[in-house]
């Protein structure tokens, strides 16, 4: 397995101005021969409305079944933070994050739930996955209730 080249972990990194500039890094999975689920939850995710420039808020839940690589969590945190000044519709932002993780870590499977707080009085929840989950993978509920004043 190739070596991970970490440029952020253990270093002072100020963050990135945009998702395109952000670097998402991976590390070797020491349990690559095991089928399991890893979860990242970002309860205070923000981006900007592409029309009004006003902030949008979401709770992201990212579940993935790693294969040879794991997502390095500091780089993921900095990547997600790069959306604070990025304008994008809820659907585009949620799916772009899922696709970026898949591109980086090449997992067996991934799903992302973007639970967005209301815009114009309507909450928009966005769900995306790479396909059917592997047989035998335990999939816990993402733990976010339908909108009732989250």
Q: Which of 110, 104, 117 is nearest to 144 (CA)?
A: 117
CB 84 within 8 A of CB 47: yes
| DSSP 8-state secondary structure symbol assigned to residue 82 | G
Name which of 115, 64, 63 is nearest 90 in CA terms.
115
Q: Which of 20, 49, 92, 125 is catalytic?
A: 49
* Catalytic residue from among 12, 56, 68, 92: 56
Q: Determine whether 49 is an active site residue.
A: yes
State the Cα–Cα distance between residues 45 and 72, nearest whole angstrom: 18
Exposed/middle/buried for residue 150 (C-beta within 10 Å: 0-12, 13-18, 19+): middle
| Active-site annotation, residues | 49, 56
């Amino acid at each position: 397995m190739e070596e991970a080249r970490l440029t952020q972990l253990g270093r002072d990194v100020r963050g990135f101005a945009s998702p395109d500039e952000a670097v998402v890094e991976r590390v070797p999975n020491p349990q690559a021969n095991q089928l399991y689920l890893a979860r990242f939850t970002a309860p205070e995710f923000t981006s900007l409305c592409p029309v009004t420039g006003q902030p949008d808020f979401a709770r992201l839940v990212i579940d993935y079944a790693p294969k040879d690589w794991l997502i390095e969590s500091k780089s993921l945190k900095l990547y997600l933070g790069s959306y604070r000044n990025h304008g994008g519709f809820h659907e585009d932002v949620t799916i772009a994050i899922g696709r970026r993780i898949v591109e980086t870590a090449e997992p067996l499977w991934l799903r992302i739930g973007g639970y967005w707080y209301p815009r114009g009085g309507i909450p928009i929840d966005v769900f995306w996955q790479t396909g059917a989950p592997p047989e035998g993978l335990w999939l816990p509920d993402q733990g976010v209730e339908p909108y009732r004043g989250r």
